[in-house]
Structure formats: structure tokens, C-alpha cells
Structure 1
Amino acid sequence: MTRRLLRLGTVLSLFMALALGGGTGTASADPAGSLWFDNTALTASAAGFTDGYGRETVLRGYNVSGETKLAENDGLPFASVADAQKSANAVRALGGGNAVRFLLSWAYAEPVRGTVDTTYLAAATAQMKVFLDAGIRVYPDFHQDLFSKYLFNTGSWYTGDGAPKWVVDAGDYPDEYCGICLFWGQNITQNAAVTESTYDFWHNTGGIQDNFLTTAQTTMTYIAQHLTTSEFTSVAGFDPYNEPHWGILDSGETSRTWEQNKLWPFYNKFRARMDAAGWTAKPAFVEPNLFWNNNLSSQKQEGGLLDAGTLAPRYVFNTHFYDAAAICGICMWGNASDGQYAGDFGTVRDRATAAGTAAILSEFGHPLNGSTSGKAPTILKAMYMAMDSRVKGADWWTSPSGSGAVLSGTQWQWDIYNDRHNELMNDNPDKLLTENDAWNDEDLSAVYLDDSGNAVLRLDTRVLDRVYPSATAGHTLAFTYEDRSRDGSTTLTWNPVPSSLPNVSTLVGSGQYGLLVWRSTGISAPTELHLPSSFATAATTVVSDLGTVTGPSAYTTSTAIGVAAEPGGTGSRRLLFTAPANTGTLHYALVANPSSTPTAAVRAAAQTELAAWAASKF
């Protein structure tokens, strides 16, 4: 019954998309026919990601999913294509995502040395197709944590994922033991079985790295051959290796020289395999040493691919960020606050700029269970705000020109099986895991399935489903979004409209709002902002140099401001702004979900205020 209802919902969503003038999801320069449903290839440069129209593009979404780390569904993100469809619909409709990092397992891809399991590749590709057909960009990731689950004994407190059993069998590693380890990540540096096997991978001991690269090439070739041309075009790139660390340094080696002499050559080899597999036009999403941008000084290590030179267009600077101090508990008292991560995420922006390429946070998040879970609402809000702008909310209206690029990111994680697992930890029949993420006591999934089988968010929808500029026809100068998300019963307002803009403040009231400022570069395609589900179309108010409106109409070639369906038929929406294809014109667009319906006079007065403000700040 649940699946029949879901199919009915999909049909209704498709009908809504057609009613708004939706197209098939293919890229076209005809906005009336396709509404700019863009599946053009992405290019990485110092300006960030750009699409086939030359628009700056922001990727936002989730990791799907930690289920790949588990044995219960044979290393696949989902038990079935139907579950993948359910998840993809929810990523769009509930989570506001336009991209996912799609996890794959080396252990299941190459269970026997030298033999790639095409049954596994076929199942993974079929699940991947569902996301691509929902208009969601995908970048696959051969995931690993603690190198391999086969390092761990059946009674261990911890487990890993990644390398196949034959790799571990060939290594003759010591019995795993972590000593006094309160967190699973301590195994990375304290467990000799993990450090020695990781060392062997980077040194290609016994040719194991060569095997991995060959399997990766076979996998990429299979994906390219079994997706349609349109689907494959929407694949953004490939993440070669999750959270790289050296395991053991050679004599005289440092974290920086390890990146230079071990990690970067590996990425060059992986890049060559991408080319051989038909992925030449797609970038590798390469990660530095995982402790490079740690916010605990005791764990921070030099890195960031400092010696790799200019990365674009062949590579994207890809890093993770978790608030280690907050997860530690005693290392950070209290909740996160406005601007908490502006410096950390500013470092990511600066490193990508120095490397001449786009940046993405392929993982970020915070536990939703345990002693520090109460910090999650403020931490997630602070992280998303730091991705939107490097200026904290309280200072944004005064200093918007310091905003910087809007960062792309995929939150960890999106696991529809949260609290519904059936995992034998380390294949131990006496250790059946059903709760949380069923992996090392983690619980970070933003979603779960209720008793009716429907996807339900575990976090405030206002912090997850956000206004963001998915495509900007020009250069982004500044962006901010005040989500008014909740911490319990408290509404978190970190970026109030200042009293110096009384009509803008009156228009917004206590509602959510986003503001994008950009300068045109002669692109004829429209600027697009994702419209969250909490913004009813009839109530959505836009104030822009291109006009003002409450309740924007369906987008057509004759409308400067209009609403249209997001691709994929999930019922989610976006706003489109069409400006003359001039170069150098300053544009702004305030998108509000006001607490009361503003009059045309208030909109006009707010437009006058915003025009003067923008002219004075840029």
C-alpha cells in the first residue's frame, strides 16, 4: 500500500511539474521548452563549478549512504531500486538537495582478487540511475573507514569498511587493538592493524593499490556504458578515496611530504584511470589528509595539497569538516553560535582559490544521538550559514562584499534505514545491530522511515531545505539565508534585517529570507534559486532589481521572475530570474517567506532600500 501511494505521489508530482511548464530534464537553450532543466557537464575553475551555460553552480545534498558500509544489503546504498527511488524523491522534496555523494564498496566490487563483480556494479548503477533521473547530480565515492572490516575480530568494539578480505588475508597484520579509544576514529592512528594496512596501500605492497585502481577503472567504465548519455552527463565527477591518512610515515616524512609523495601520485594515477574509462571531461574530487582542517589543535596536521599546483579543471578540492571539539564534548561547552565556522570554511575557500579550482565539503554533520546531540541544531545552522557566506550573520548586512563563494556540500548522511537495520557487526551472530546507523555507534542520518514507510526528516526542515543559488548567471558577489530554524522551542535568528532598512525588515517580518547579489557576465540563461517546501508559492515574495512580486507566476520567456518545478518530477520548485544578457550589471534578489503578506507599496519601498544598499556596498 505504501509503495502504491508513493507511485501516486510521483504521478501527482509529475502533473504539477507539467502544470508549471516542466520539461524532460535535458539541457536546452529554449527556456519555454525545457525551463533550463540543466544536465550539462560541470566544469571546475577558480570561479567554482560552472554549468554548460557558464553559470556558477552550487551543489547541495547528502551522502547516500552509510548503508554501503554494512553487509546487510551487500555493500549497496539501498536494498532495492524502489528504496533508492523513495530516497531520491525525499532528497529533493524534503531535503532540498540537487546532488548526492554516492558510496561504493571496494570489498563488494572486487571480492576475489582480479575479478570484478558485475552483478554488484549493475545493482549500484541501477540505484544511481534513479537519482540521476530525479535531476540529482551524482559523484560516486569508493568509501573506506579504518581500511577494512576484515581487520576486526568478531568481538571487537569497532569495525571498518573498504578493502576486500583478500587484501587483509595477504597482509598478515597484527590483531587489531585500539587501547583506550572512546571514539572509533582513534583507530586511525592507534590501531596497528589499521595503520600497517593503510601504510601498505600507499606503498602498493603486493600490488594492492594497483588492484584498487584497476577495479575503479572497471567500475567507471561500467557506469559510463550503462547510463544513458543524458544520465552520464549529470555525473559530476568521482571521489577517489575517502578520508586519506598515511597510517605510518616513512623516516623523515611529514604530513606535507606524504601528501606530495604518496597521496598526489595516487590521485594522478586515478585521474589516468578516469580518462581511460571515458571520464576525461569530469573532475576527480580529491581529498587532502583528513586531519588538515581539524578544529582541535592537537589533531591538526599540515596539508591541503599545498604542492599540487593548479588543480582545475581536472581536480576539485574536496574536504570534510566535523566539529571535533563539539563531538569531544568537554572540548567545547555550550552550543554553536553565529559565525562559529566562518574561519574554518574560509580556510577551505582560500585553499581552493589558491589551487585555482572549485571547493566542496563532501562530508559535514553532527551526531543526533549521544551526549553532544543537543548541539546539533545550532551546529548544523552554523555550518550551513558558513557555507553560504564567510561573513557571520550579525555582520552580513554591513560587510556583504566579504561573503566569498557559496560553498557546495553534501551532508553526512541520508540513510532511510536509520533505526531499522539488521546488521551482524563483524559477522557476529551475537551482535545484531538495528539502531541508529548500525555502524560504530554513529547516528547522523538526517532522515528515517516512519511506520508507514514514509521518509521523515529527523532535523528541522528549515535548516535542511534551504534557499540557495543553484545556478547564477554571472559572478556571485554575496549570498545569505536566514532559515529561522529551531533549537527546541527557540527560534534561531542570527541574521536579522537591520533597522536601517525598515521596509525590508517590515516585509520579511519574522519569516525566512534569502538574498543573492550578483554581477552579470553576459549569460542569457536565467539565475536559479532553490525554493524550499516551507515557501508556499502564493506567499513567496520577491524583491529584485528585475521587479517585485508576491506569488510569482509560472516561468515563461516573457517573465523576469517566475517559478518552475525542479527537474525529476518530485514537486520541488525553484525561482528563475531572467535579466538582459549584459555584462557588468549589478543584480539583487530578495526571496522571502514573510510572516504576513506585504502590500505592493511595501515591496516598492523595500526595492528602493535594497537598490541603494546594493549600490553602496558593491
Structure 2
Amino acid sequence: MSKSRARLLGPLVLLTGLLTATGVPPASAADLPDSLWFDGTTATTLTVRDGRFVDGLGREVVLRGYNVSGETKLEENDGLPFASVADAKKSATALRALGGGNSVRFLLSWAHAEPVRGQVDTTYLAAVTEQIRAFLDAGIRVYPDFHQDLFSRYLFNKGSWYTGDGAPKWVVEAGDYPQESCGICLFWGQNITQNEAVKRASHDFWHNVGGIQDAFLTTAQRTMAYLAQNLDAQEFAGVAGFDPYNEPHAGSYDSGQTSRAWEKDILWPFYQKFRARMDAAGWKDKPAFVEPNLFWNANLDFQKQEGGLLDAGTLGPRYVFNTHFYDQKAISGIFMWGKAGDGQYSGDFGTVRDRASAASTAAIISEFGHPLAGSVSDKAPTVLKAMYQALDSRVPGASWWSKPTQGGPVLSGSQWQWDIYNGRHHELMNDNPDKVLTEGDAWNDEDLSAVELNDSGTAVLRQDARLLDRLYPSATAGRTVAFTYEDRSRDGSTTLTWNPVPSSLPNVAQLVGSGQYGLLMWRSNGSQAPTELHLPASFPTASTTVVSDLGTTAGLPAYSRGTTPVAVAAEPGGTGSRRLLLTAADSGTLHYALVTNGATNPSASLLAAAKSELSAWAASRG
């Protein structure tokens, strides 16, 4: 679709989102043209309603994707995720086609946005906008993040073991901070609580010493205003919101102050100020993706601190509960000797669901991952599978078929990270020409990127495609009741099957066989728009089987509105990725759909028998 046509459609898209958000029934979408959801390019504005992300057609949306990218922490590309727009486009296409993502957390640098106090670098913002546009053009939603780790790289000396990113040089120079030192620190994150320079600088930011927090808020507002003014209406509709501040921590607490009190008295007022800046910049209809104290859900007891924005009250639709999760026990190599198993993170991710529900908003886990190199990298296949499993449902695979509706909402998430330059960097650590980093992520010995470029310059996955390119309900026309996906990903030569079809459903088990499968149950809301599931590349159109109350098919027909309740269509962006469309125009009805690539030319009798089993099972469980 041409830019001119996109600009014409943009206002209609925004109006559609406004009508839906203000109470017009989703069924009103029936009178809108197919292009609003089927031409593969048009986004609708995302809002929060009833604790879920909702698009302009009244569908419940799940955001899945990656962080783009830790390259922003480095200086080699001047604080940008990519060296060029061409690289951004290559990355976006690969993320969609290989990684199955429909969204990205897009990292920005305060140091490069405001290199001189009070002066926003519009050259940097222009480059950011063009790189963001590459993802929007690929049909990928974006939520920017002003990223920081250890406050600023300018706190660290040229000979340091570690480095940081975030605040500009002028902030550090004004602070007169002590010589940085972490002492005996085995992991870079220990600097947060052990490095006096990092602690003091963070404390000063939260207390607005020298007006540095005000300066950050002004730069953030100007950045958001620039994006709103330089993306057309259609593109801006694809921007999901903004993450104000990565992994906030007090640095040091005031006398007698607890972590919970710090969140209440310091962090939450900051988010309210940021929210006001969003409104002033033209982002009034987009939520702020706010993070609690980064240690609130740590899975090591000595790290855990009370928090989770417990005293912020009802966050509501203008905020999203946004947190990170890394298995520090597994990363330590000390507190978890074995590998992750079925249901490993059900409790941890269940806590995120519960916290968001109590705050009356949607949740997203905007960072999760595990090292792909080093002494604990052997745990990555199981740790990542368990994390994706917990995003899909809070019920372990062993008990999912007996209590599927206890799974809670399907969680949105962004894996750390998607860096096409992995292993090919040329970063002068802390500007030291004698410390040129090329390996891994080129930042504090990390190596977590799911992607890299091969010798021919083609993007390739560094992890099992069966793990990353997943079936998931990207847009549900109604309310998700239950979802599971058995990816059959590998740990070495071992196939990991944590959710086998039970023997009580023998025909379903025969149909699935040793293949991958997903099962969605949802209750319709009368929308004329279809429910959409991302189809991984491992689900070829001709050999994907769907068994649903809406219809049963071995091989997917192309979508034709009003005639194909079960069909396939291209996903937005022209990347070659596909989506399964399930159309149910009724309201309040419980529907189900099993999607599998396990069977080759299944017989009509097997399909009928499997449908009979699933119908009875859904009726008894829904």
C-alpha cells in the first residue's frame, strides 16, 4: 500500500479505535472495508480494556517479539539499534519471518538524544524514526524504551571491568561522583547495589538533583512529540505505547525508607509526571508501560524486595504493568544445578498476572531470556521453553488438559534480545582502544541474541526455530478462555514434550502424533473481524490441520470474507509470514480450535472422531 493511501486510511483507523474504545459494539466493524484488517499493512490503535490489550476492532491482542536491541547500549552505531535503515529492514523482516514476532521493544539512548543539556539532537531522532518505521512497515508494533543500565557509561573508567548506558556525559560531569568500583563482582548487575558511583547517580536522578530528572522528562516529551509529528497517522497507530525507564532502582534508599515506600513516594510520582508528558506530546491515547522496582519479583530470596507498584492503586487503561524476568538461579550456576522443567515458571508468571489483575490493567514481560554462551548456556533450551510455556498459560503441561481455564490471560512478552550484529561488533569498551569487543553482545560479557548474520549477511536464528517461531493468538475476537502450545523444541537431541495429548482423547492424540500443536478456546464477542493466530513456518499451509467447532480442514484454504470460517492469509508487512483466521460472528459462544502439523492427509473419519472428542472435552471444561 502506498504512503498516500496509508495517510488516507490513518484517520479512519484512529476513528475506529476511538469508537470501539468508547462503547460502540465490536460488530460495528462489519461495515468497515476489508483493508482495515486484511490488506496486510494497516494497524489499528492499541488500547487497554478489561485487563487486556485491545485493537480497534475490539479484539484481544497478545504482543510477542523481542528487544531491538542491545546495540543501542553501544557507541559503534551512535546509540542506534542499527547502522542503517537497510539493516533495520533486514532485521524487521527476519524478526517477522524467522522469529514470529508481531512487536518490538525499541531501545533509545538518552545520552544520544540530549548530548548537550537542553538541546535535543534531531539528527538522532530522525534516524530513530526511520529505523522505527522499518518495523512498522513490516507490520510490527513498536513500544520505545529509554534504556539505562548502571545509569551511564560515563561513570566507568577506561580500565573498568564493566560499563553502563543511559544518561548523557553532562549529567555525570555535574554529579562529581566517586571513582566507580564494584569490588569483587562476578556479574555486572551487582554494580546496582555495590558500586557507589552507580548508587549515588541513581539516587540523584530519582531526587531530581540539579534538575536532571526534569531534563530527562523534557527530552522524553520532545522525543515523543517528534515521533508523533514525523510518523503518519497510520504508522503512529502501530506505536503501542512507551516504556519510560528501564529497570528502575533507588540506588540507595533514604533513611528508614523501604523499597515499597520508595515505589510509592518516588517511582510512582515519576510515572505520573511521565504520563503527563506523554499527553502533552500527543500520546494521550497510548499507555505507559511502567516497570516496578526491578527486584520485586527476583527469584533469589536475598535479592527480592517488596514492590510491584502495590500502592499505585488501580493503574487502569493509561498504564500497563510491565516487568522483567530472568531466572537468576539458573544464570548463577550455583542455585540451580539441573535444567528447567514443565511448569518451572508457572508461579513466577502467575504472580505477574495476579499483580496486573489487581491493578486493573494488562501485563507484559518486556524482558526475559537466558545466556546462549558460557557455563550455564546448556540450560537455555529448557529455561526458554519454560518461560514461553508460562507466557501461554499458568497451568503446567502435565495438568493443562484437566484444568485449562485456570491458565489466566495469555501474556505478552519481548525476549531479550534481537541483535543482528551478534558476534560481529567492534565496540571500544568505555572508549578504550585496547578493549575492542567483538564477541557476543559486546556488552558486559552478555550473549543472549536470538539472531545473528551468517557470512553471507543473511539473518539466521541462534536458537531452535521450534522454540522461537511459535503459534500464539495474536488477536482474539472475544475473550481467551484457555490456550496452550506444545512446540516440541529440542534440548540437544532430546525432544521436549511437556504437554502430550492425554490418552483419554485417543483420536486427537493420533491426529497430533509427534507433531507440534496448539489449542485455543475463546468466547466470541460478536465482532465480524476474525480471531488470528500466528502460523509458524513449521506449519505449511498445505499440511496444517485445524479441528474446530467452526470447521475442520486438512490443508488451509485462502481467506475469503464471509465464506471461509477457517482460513489462511498473509500477515502484515509482506515478510512471507502467515496467520490463521477463525471467523465466528456470534456473541457469547464458546469456540475451540486445535491446530497441528502432526498428520499427513488425515482421513475424514479421523478428523470427525477428533472433532467429536474435542467438542465433548470443551463442553466439559469451558
Structure 2 unaligned blocks of 5 or more: 2-8, 14-28
Which of 196, 199, 203 is the aligned partner of 2:203? 199
Question: How does 1:479-498 map onto structure 2 within 5 Å?
Answer: 479-498=483-502
Task: Give the SS at the match of 1:241.
Answer: coil
Q: Which amino acid aligns with 1:272?
A: A
Q: Which amino acid aligns with 1:31?
A: D
1:35 matched to 2:38? The reply is yes
d(CA) in 2 for partners of 1:380, 1:438: 22
1:577 matched to 2:582? The reply is yes
* Shift, 1:596, TM fit: 3.1
Contact 1:563–1:574 under 8 Å retained in 2: yes
Deviations 1:226-265 (A, max 9, x none): 1011000110000000000000101111000000000000
Contact 2:545–2:599 under 8 Å retained in 1: no
> What is the match of residue 67 of structure 1?
71
Question: How does 1:281-320 map onto structure 2 within 5 Å?
Answer: 281-320=285-324
Q: Which amino acid aligns with 1:511?
A: G
> What is the match of residue 557 of structure 2?
553
* Shift, 1:32, TM fit: 7.3
> What is the match of residue 17 of structure 1?
none
Query: Which segment is superposed worse, 593-602 or 107-116?
Result: 593-602
> What is the match of residue 434 of structure 2?
430
d(CA) in 2 for partners of 1:98, 1:67: 20
1:593 matched to 2:603? The reply is no
Contact 1:419–1:435 under 8 Å retained in 2: yes
d(CA) in 2 for partners of 1:64, 1:550: 37
Question: How does 1:297-446 map onto structure 2 within 5 Å?
Answer: 297-446=301-450
Deviations 1:338-396 (A, max 9, x none): 00000000000000000000000000000001110000000000000000000001110
Task: Give the SS at the match of 2:304.
Answer: coil
> What is the match of residue 181 of structure 2?
177
Query: Which segment is superposed worse, 306-315 or 317-326?
Result: 306-315
* Shift, 1:36, TM fit: 6.8
> What is the match of residue 259 of structure 1?
263
d(CA) in 1 for partners of 2:602, 2:380: 34
| CA distance 1:33–1:175, change in 2 (3 Å) | closer
d(CA) in 2 for partners of 1:55, 1:551: 26
> What is the match of residue 159 of structure 2?
155
Contact 1:291–1:300 under 8 Å retained in 2: yes
Contact 1:509–1:596 under 8 Å retained in 2: no
Q: Which amino acid aligns with 2:592?
A: Y
**TM-score, structure 1 as length reference:** 0.95
Contact 2:51–2:356 under 8 Å retained in 1: no
d(CA) in 1 for partners of 2:91, 2:392: 25
d(CA) in 1 for partners of 2:535, 2:325: 26
Contact 1:377–1:487 under 8 Å retained in 2: yes
Task: Give the SS at the match of 1:85.
Answer: helix
Q: What is the root-mean-square deviation of aligned Cα atoms in Å?
A: 1.3
> What is the match of residue 229 of structure 2?
225
Task: Give the SS at the match of 2:316.
Answer: coil
Aligned residues: 595
Which of 563, 569, 572 is the aligned partner of 1:564? 569
d(CA) in 2 for partners of 1:183, 1:602: 54
Q: Which amino acid aligns with 1:407?
A: L
d(CA) in 2 for partners of 1:612, 1:576: 23
Contact 1:30–1:36 under 8 Å retained in 2: no
* Shift, 1:549, TM fit: 0.3
d(CA) in 2 for partners of 1:282, 1:190: 37
d(CA) in 2 for partners of 1:200, 1:114: 18
Q: Which amino acid aligns with 2:196?
A: A
* Shift, 1:598, TM fit: 1.3
Task: Give the SS at the match of 2:274.
Answer: helix
Q: Which amino acid aligns with 2:34?
A: P
* Shift, 1:46, TM fit: 3.3
Task: Give the SS at the match of 1:520.
Answer: strand
Contact 2:526–2:584 under 8 Å retained in 1: no
Which of 119, 125, 129 is the aligned partner of 2:133? 129
d(CA) in 2 for partners of 1:186, 1:385: 29
Task: Give the SS at the match of 2:508.
Answer: helix
Task: Give the SS at the match of 1:378.
Answer: helix
d(CA) in 1 for partners of 2:331, 2:348: 16
Task: Give the SS at the match of 1:538.
Answer: helix
| CA distance 1:101–1:33, change in 2 (3 Å) | closer
Q: Which amino acid aligns with 1:40?
A: T
d(CA) in 1 for partners of 2:406, 2:607: 27
1:502 matched to 2:499? The reply is no
Deviations 1:195-249 (A, max 9, x none): 0000000000000000000000000000111101100011000000000000010
> What is the match of residue 98 of structure 2?
94
Deviations 1:543-562 (A, max 9, x none): 00001001111111111111
* Shift, 1:523, TM fit: 1.7
d(CA) in 2 for partners of 1:522, 1:372: 49
d(CA) in 1 for partners of 2:540, 2:490: 19
> What is the match of residue 6 of structure 2?
none
> What is the match of residue 5 of structure 1?
none
> What is the match of residue 18 of structure 1?
none
* Shift, 1:521, TM fit: 1.7
* Shift, 1:522, TM fit: 1.8
Task: Give the SS at the match of 1:377.
Answer: helix
Structure 1 unaligned blocks of 5 or more: 1-13, 15-23
| CA distance 1:595–1:550, change in 2 (3 Å) | closer
Q: Which amino acid aligns with 2:107?
A: L
| CA distance 1:36–1:303, change in 2 (3 Å) | farther
d(CA) in 1 for partners of 2:576, 2:120: 38
Which of 480, 483, 495 is the aligned partner of 1:476? 480
| CA distance 1:290–1:613, change in 2 (3 Å) | same
* Shift, 1:34, TM fit: 4.8
* Shift, 1:115, TM fit: 0.4
> What is the match of residue 20 of structure 1?
none
Task: Give the SS at the match of 2:541.
Answer: coil
* Shift, 1:47, TM fit: 3.1
> What is the match of residue 8 of structure 1?
none
Task: Give the SS at the match of 1:313.
Answer: helix
Task: Give the SS at the match of 2:317.
Answer: coil
Q: Which amino acid aligns with 1:288?
A: P
d(CA) in 1 for partners of 2:358, 2:339: 32
d(CA) in 1 for partners of 2:620, 2:201: 58
Which of 504, 519, 522 is the aligned partner of 1:518? 522
d(CA) in 2 for partners of 1:329, 1:174: 32
d(CA) in 2 for partners of 1:47, 1:352: 7
Contact 2:543–2:599 under 8 Å retained in 1: no
Deviations 1:310-334 (A, max 9, x none): 1121100000000000001110011
**TM-score, structure 2 as length reference:** 0.94
| CA distance 1:30–1:601, change in 2 (3 Å) | farther
